[in-house]
Amino acid sequence: MQLTLLRFAAIVGIGGSLLAVAVPAFVRALNASKTTEALDGLHTLSVGAVSKADLHEQAESFPPSVELTPAEVPRGVKVLDPPGTWDHLTWRALDFRMDHEHAFSFRFESSVDKVTGTARFAARAHGDLDGDGSWSTFEVRGERQPGSAARVMSGLLVSRELE
């Protein structure tokens, strides 16, 4: 059986069509896998913050702010932190630590509006996924108004999801 020009063109056309569908799906899946660490970390932080706040009745119910940890955002590679990196009181209160290699640094900020008494928090994940010095940032926010339960605000703020 000889491969005629028409059969060859059909094979190339079908193969090209399959690639046109498969390659973008693969790229989307690959990119999503890079951001999963940040989203999982923010979920853990927000659940920890709301749980901690619901244990206390006072307005200042979220743990205090903590600086970016680790202080230097990993640049295009996953890192394993030295012992003690996640020992800050806030990380302990939120039951949060990265015991495995990771590509993101995390920050937790909390404040209380002195006028309304509303306590708020913002949890952020910063990553330099391709090592170019440009950060991908993901942020989740929450609040607790006096007399109500703490809650995570709807929506996720994203800046340069994949740089």
* Boundaries of every domain in the chain: 5-159
Instruction: Assess whether pLDDT exceeds 60 at residue 134.
Output: yes
**Least confident among 18-22, 97-101, 130-134, 153-157:** 18-22
Rounded CA separation 57/62 (Å): 11
What's the rounded mean pLDDT across residues 24-42?
74
Rounded to 5 degrees, what are φ and ψ at 59? -65, -40
Query: Residue 146: pLDDT band by 50, 70, 90 thresholds?
Result: confident
What's the rounded mean pLDDT across residues 111-128?
92
Rounded CA separation 45/65 (Å): 12
What's the rounded mean pLDDT across residues 40-48?
94
Residue 10: its pLDDT value, please?
78
Locate tokens 């709301």: which residue?
A: 50
What's the rounded mean pLDDT across residues 2-7?
75
The encoded tokens of residue 149 equal: 């339960």
10 Å Cβ neighbour count for 3? 8
- The model's pTM is 0.78
Residue 115: its pLDDT value, please?
92
